[in-house]
Structure 1
């Protein structure tokens, strides 16, 4: 789920955050945008594995300064500094250990194969992570796949069925990686990491021809939900670009793509778009932009109250002598801990991904433990970082013989 070479990015922190300087929209190039949410001193790498508590506490830090473009609806972190982020082999982003996510991932691959006739075809993924989705496309459609990601670990695919047709390139994406047009090009949970969105999409479009008919599929976090539900845990430094259906469609159409389908999936958390290289389309987005602008205007007050609620709830549990455990050690937990300034009130963080066990949370140094260790820790409160996993986590907690309060964001 990673991105492009930092050298390709023209947007840096110093150029954009000088107080009083208008900040242009990197998606539609509107001359001025509105700052509406700011968080300082946040870790710049939420998914990096830190081997010691000291390393985790000493992690690189930056800030989040969300700006809203009233012209196209795009939201972005104007304080994002790509040179403070790291995408390497120690970037651990996989969700594949969750049965819930694995079912969704497999069904998504099957639906795309069926909808676009992807059988025995050439497929490519930009920001492929550890390659799980490419393997699914290979297994279910006997497709040949190429994945580009600086955090790719080809050795993880050794012996996996279908992996013999998958090639992982552990590099930042460059235009020459698309020199040979694939039949299907996907980019999942990556565009939100890219600051110069219009430049990136235009680069991809320049490598595609209308005659080839390559289908392009992108998946990003859905931002309307984040604003509506004050999901501050879904706002962090690496996510520099935030899309709603309106702004994502506008971006692709401005870059000369014909959009064939958009959808909101996975408990309204993911926004997807499918398109082909074609002429620009025009759409009426006035009403949706007005709704979005209202959410942006009220967000600061609403999110402050939401943060206060969770801060008070965790501190109250700790004051009662309960061990508080967060379930899920990814970016949501990093944002939860740092945004609420929680320290000793939280005992530890747990995760079913064994690659995370024995490491420490960026910024706060909380240990990441295996779920099996909770039987000894005896938590009094477990806070689930992603509600879509509620049922599977409650079953897991029950199987461990643990009886405690379990809640979710």
Structure 2
């Protein structure tokens, strides 16, 4: 990487180098285990002009998202998060309040987990989802879905066919596109001239503060502060008017934007978060200086625990096979001798193996059958939900292990 993808600056500074890993969602079938597996550098840098944190675009979205292993509906808490968002957004934007034909578009709509709540309210909507398999699942669930990547051309075509959108939702996608400017222009093409755009994306502030380095992977091309998001939105003619701090994904920001011509002054919350980011040093190199050392400690602590458990003859298995888990497993060099297997609720992953580390992925019922001593929870961001789901490991004295932000071993109680 020689230039910033947002502002074109050549002044990029290293934040953390995680070596080389396979794409995090490239799960292996059994007949692929003897085949070569490509790996790509995973090196996070920050632009010292616009402060957008980013990794090189070594793989394309087309390689990742045409056939995708992640289905949002398998997370109970995430579906509830979407339901609450829709209820609040209907009130905030006033969708259909005046009897008009309101229209909502979600970009990267996955399996319809969010828009199904819009459909239930009788509001006209459309999902734009590039993955063929999850888009098909959305249509089966009754959510109108277009199989496309968003571009300025796609946005204009949707607007011409369906009319401008009163609300455009882009949750957990703004980090997934290397062409930040083109994607933002696509959002502007979709939204009505007096409409709203809502974007949820992980907050770089919590990523740095909470050692959440496993959310760095090849699907995520950039990592936003509110300051860098303001600049990214402006590249497409949008202006930030409000921001919410969310607990999702370990700490996210919900950006409320409007066309620049009607946006007006941003809320006090925008200024407050900008002040927090500045106080954390995220607009100077000092804010990033210790991150690499703290990442290395997470790796050492987890490996020490796994090695010592193996030497005591204790069994450790995993729960979940998320993308973030594959960054962690590969960075730590964890193999089946230290983690016998992991389980996942998504049947798509059953019988497959984690990329790079070749750890088997089994159905969740395997944990109760085997009664392991420890369960390493890889989607640590769902800690409350999964602690409840895994409460049954208390029956044989099993314990849960959370690797991020620091190693935590928890005795589960009913």
* TM-score range relative to shorter protein: 0.7 to 0.9
Q: CA deviation at 1:295?
A: 2.8
1:139-288 alignment runs, 5 A limit: 139-157=120-138, 160=141, 163=142, 166-179=143-156, 180=159, 181-205=164-188, 208=191, 210=193, 213-267=194-248, 268-279=250-261, 288=277
Partner of 2:220, secondary structure, is coil
**2:15 aligned residue:** 36
Q: CA deviation at 1:75?
A: 0.1
Higher RCO by CA contacts (8 Å cutoff, separation 6 or greater): 1
**2:80 aligned residue:** 103
Is 1:353 the equivalent of 2:334? no
Q: CA deviation at 1:382?
A: 1.0
**1:3 aligned residue:** none
Offset from partner CA, 1:253-303 (integer Å, 9 cap, x none)? 343312121112135522211111124979985873461133311111221
Q: CA deviation at 1:233?
A: 1.4
Change (3 A) 1:130 1:402: farther
The unaligned stretches of length 5 or more in structure 1 are 1-15, 17-22
Change (3 A) 1:53 1:73: farther
Offset from partner CA, 1:190-220 (integer Å, 9 cap, x none)? 121111212321343356563xx12111111
Q: CA deviation at 1:25?
A: 1.8
Q: CA deviation at 1:247?
A: 1.2
Is 1:138 the equivalent of 2:124? no
**1:25 aligned residue:** 4
100-109 vs 170-179, which moves further: 170-179
Partner of 1:132, secondary structure, is coil
Q: CA deviation at 1:34?
A: 0.8
The unaligned stretches of length 5 or more in structure 2 are 405-414
**1:51 aligned residue:** 29
Task: Give the Cα separation in 2 of the matches to 1:345 and 1:183.
Answer: 51
User: TM-score, normalising length from structure 1?
Assistant: 0.84
**1:330 aligned residue:** 322
Task: Give the Cα separation in 2 of the matches to 1:71 and 1:307.
Answer: 31
Q: CA deviation at 1:375?
A: 2.2
Task: Give the Cα separation in 2 of the matches to 1:384 and 1:153.
Answer: 25
Task: Give the Cα separation in 2 of the matches to 1:271 and 1:396.
Answer: 27
Q: Report if the CA contact (8 A) 1:95-1:101 is conserved.
A: yes
341-350 vs 251-260, which moves further: 251-260
Q: Report if the CA contact (8 A) 2:150-2:183 is conserved.
A: no
Partner of 2:197, secondary structure, is strand
**2:372 aligned residue:** 379
**1:397 aligned residue:** 390
Task: Give the Cα separation in 2 of the matches to 1:329 and 1:200.
Answer: 29
Task: Give the Cα separation in 2 of the matches to 1:79 and 1:254.
Answer: 19
User: TM-score, normalising length from structure 2?
Assistant: 0.83
**1:305 aligned residue:** 297
Q: CA deviation at 1:337?
A: 0.7
Task: Give the Cα separation in 1 of the matches to 2:35 and 2:376.
Answer: 22
Offset from partner CA, 1:94-148 (integer Å, 9 cap, x none)? 2322322222121112111221122452121221222221222221353332323
**2:411 aligned residue:** none
Offset from partner CA, 1:210-244 (integer Å, 9 cap, x none)? 3xx12111111222111112122111122111112
Aligned length: 380
